[in-house]
Structure 1
């Protein structure tokens, strides 16, 4: 097992480095990565960026927006947010098992006198208040699990920068984003810095994996990461993309995530379809969008078209019938 402490605060670079470790360091059975970003919003792989952020606030406050390669929802980072990643070789049935990958965080907090627990789909909470959201990507026998830990984040900025959907707030039964979250620092009996917490988390991993050593990138690898930052994670097309033409928009919230449908229907047939949301899946939903093109915009026809693909690979925990419902109703 290897560990990497990335001291860069450049968000696009950090996401590029994480992807490089996931997709290129294939000889490593397990990698543990820690880093801190500057003020940024990280949106999920399948999300419609412009609907997840407060664009005016983000622009005025110089907050960077970067899309990651994993599913899930948008999160806000700043210099007091600690990000951790665990990359490991796993069988496909381990995909989207968030709880087991959260143990290092829960155990580190326990040692500091804080009782935290895994709840819901992919959250960590203290006394019912969220302090960490988790996301995963799965490619060819490798899982990348990452979480963003609210250590001492400016929650007033978080609540203004993220344009959280009304139905998500209502489903929690509370009035605001800020009411649902907490910072780790506020729960600690004795105060420490985010860097000290980072070191404690790394210490836990070193005790669990005594043979773990540091991975140091070569100059060629660093050049490749910079190239990825420039061409992908620092690119507007990747981070925002073109909003689709549509005449029908539908949003459906399931236990395993929200699915937003943008459909352009002409003469009662689906001309184009775009799927957004905070769901998780192993494969790109572009295949789902393609399979329903040209068919009648009716539930039975959509459901029949979806039978030609394994829907579980695109939407973890959401059935074919539920996706048909999300598209047509």
Structure 2
């Protein structure tokens, strides 16, 4: 097994790193990384339904879709992420147990009683400090998890506070849970760096052949290429969302306007606009102009700026309409 500590705190790089290792390393790998403030969305989720888009834009937070299923999580530098990228051995029927054992053992060394609860959560006194996800391939196991050490819980709550009334879909939705930081349960304070060493020590007990490995320049080049072509793109992070319906009402100078939008593969496939506004032209013309566009701000703003909006609604701005469309 190889021990790898990522040299980066940039979420798209680190999520790309997981896939790069999965596809290019024949050895078993244990990867650790920390991300600056970022949101990591499950493979089968509707990104817009999981995040507080206004908060994410205001704080310039990267949103990245991962390869594994499960729910959306918030990362910051107080959160340690671990990942096992393993060759299959026939011992894959233990669910999340096998690769969470070293984490639980490390906490036991610190005098903290933690356990695997439900399907994929690690908890302390019933409070979640680690969410885990996995994917099983013909020859590989990919399991990873978060470890809240001294994460900013208030930022986590704000970033993931999406409006559930806006969306109707069949995507997998995250379930709110009471969360806690490991640091709150320590009898003697330790640094995150010391905790990382303890994790590595426990992994070494389970995998005695483990040795340290540093990403080469070729590795970094390959990861960056994958990052730019996939994990930094709107198409993967937002457009890959399952089909969904978006409904939003706004109140502006023109009156009350309600938008009903159907989205498939990230593009608007249906749009109906209702309201008590007074316009000279039928809004069906505007509806037709927006169908087929990606359901994202940049393209919609460009299209709206080219249209005579006041003729459809009366006194209205591009930003008013965007508030109803996104």
**TM-score for both structures, normalised by structure 2:** 0.69
Residue 198 of structure 1, CA deviation? 1.1
Question: CA–CA distance in 2 between the matches of 1:146 and 1:243?
Answer: 21
Q: Give the structure 1 partner of residue 10 of structure 2.
A: 10
In structure 2, the CA distance between the partners of 1:107 and 1:165, relative to structure 1 (3 Å rule), is farther
Match of 1:216 among 214, 217, 228: 214
Q: How does 1:126-275 map to 2 (within 5 A)?
A: 126-163=124-161, 177=176, 180-241=178-239
Shift in CA distance, 95/225, structure 1 to aligned 2, threshold 3 Å: farther
Which of 74, 77, 82 matches 1:76? 74
- 1:23 maps to 23
The 8 Å contact of residues 17 and 223 in structure 2, kept in 1 or not, is answered as yes
| Deviation at residue 220 of structure 1 after TM alignment | 2.1
Per the TM alignment, residue 206 of structure 1 is displaced from its structure 2 partner at its CA by 2.2
Q: Which moved more, 1:215-224 or 1:86-95?
A: 86-95
Normalising by structure 1, report the TM-score: 0.68
- Distance in 2 (CA, whole Å) between partners of 1:237 and 1:104 is 36
Q: What does residue range 282-301 of structure 1 map to in structure 2 within 5 Å? A: none
**2:315 matched residue in structure 1:** none
Shift of residue 55, structure 1, vs aligned partner: 0.2
- 1:80 and 1:151 in contact (8 A); partners too: yes
Tell me, in whole angstroms, the C-alpha distance in 2 between the residues paired with 1:134 and 1:184.
16
In 2, the alpha carbon distance for the partners of 1:181 and 1:111 equals 21
1:130 Cα deviation (Å)?
Answer: 0.4
**CA-based RMSD:** 2.6
Unaligned runs of 5+ in 2: 166-174, 248-261, 270-326
Is the contact made by 2:43 and 2:65 (CA closer than 8 Å) also made in structure 1?
Answer: yes
Counterpart CA distance in 2 for 1:9 and 1:235 is: 18
Of 213-222 and 143-152, deviating more is 213-222
Maintained 8 Å contact 1:7/1:36: no
- CA distance in 1 between partners of 2:91 and 2:70 (Å): 18
Contact 1:132 1:147 in 2 (8 A): yes
The alpha carbon displacement at 1:78 in A equals: 0.2
Deviations 1:35-85 (A, max 9, x none): 100000000011000000000011111211100000000000001000000
Give the paired residue count.
Answer: 242
On the 8 A contact 2:102/2:199 being kept in 1, the answer is yes
5+ unaligned residues in a row in structure 1: which ranges? 168-175, 250-261, 265-271, 273-329
Q: Aligned partners of 2:226, 2:8: CA distance in 1, in Å? A: 15
Alignment partner, residue 121 of structure 1: 119
TM alignment of 1:41-120, pairs within 5 A: 41-90=39-88, 94=92, 97-120=95-118
Deviation sequence 1:152-205 (CA, Å, 0-9, x none) = 1111111111136879xxxxxxxx95x711000001111112222111101212
